[in-house]
Amino acid sequence: MELEVEISELERAHRRRYGRWLRLATAESATGGRIADRLTDVAGASDYVVGGIVAYSNEAKMSLLGVREVTLRDFGAVSPEVAREMAVGGRDILCADLCIADTGIAGPGGGSTAKPVGLFYLGLSSACGCHVVQHLFRGDREGNKQAAVSAALTLIRDRLVQLVASEDGQDG
């Protein structure tokens, strides 16, 4: 089963059990809107997907998502710190329960020894905090982007599984 379909089914299970949807949002950089695209491929996604922000440049990350200039300067755009600030900012701005963010180096250029091509950070923000995961994908540009989207959808799905099974369906 496709991840976006699993997410839709988990959203519906949460609504049946707790009487409300969990609002999802995306704050994307290297994936360029592909996470939101996959989420909205499912009919009825407008019940729980509130929106997405594609912030590719550092300026957009700062102005649209509230990423701090000092964070970008000290850690670089591809860092766990920026992924965290993107996810938290996207969640706040879009009034979501969960926000997934990505920042990475899709390739073929742009990599370094410290930050190679295929390095991605995914942040998932919720009421109980923000969890950031590092991935190093080994594909070409398209493959790295697709792998990052799948990893992001997996993070969302896994969190929804936890929330549907929780005592009160609340996050935090």
Show me where the domains of the chain are located. 3-165
Q: Tell me: the pLDDT tens digits for 141-160?
A: 999 999 999 999 999 999 99
3-state secondary structure the chain: CCHHHHHHHHHHHHHHHHCCCCCEEEEECCCCCHHHHHHCCCCCHHHCEEEEEECCCHHHHHHHHCCCHHHHHHHCCCCHHHHHHHHHHHHHHCCCCEEEEEEECCCCCCCCCCCCCCEEEEEEEECCEEEEEEEECCCCHHHHHHHHHHHHHHHHHHHHHHHHHCCCCCCC
CATH homologous superfamily of domain 3-165? CinA-like (3.90.950.20)
pLDDT of 166: 87
Q: Tell me: the pLDDT tens digits for 99-149?
A: 999 999 999 999 999 999 999 999 999 999 999 999 999 999 999 999 999
pLDDT band at 172 (very low <50, low <70, confident <90, very high): low
* Amino acid code (one letter) for 102: D
- Give mean pLDDT, residues 47-55: 98
Q: Is the pLDDT of residue 32 over 80?
A: yes
Q: Is the pLDDT of residue 167 over 80?
A: no
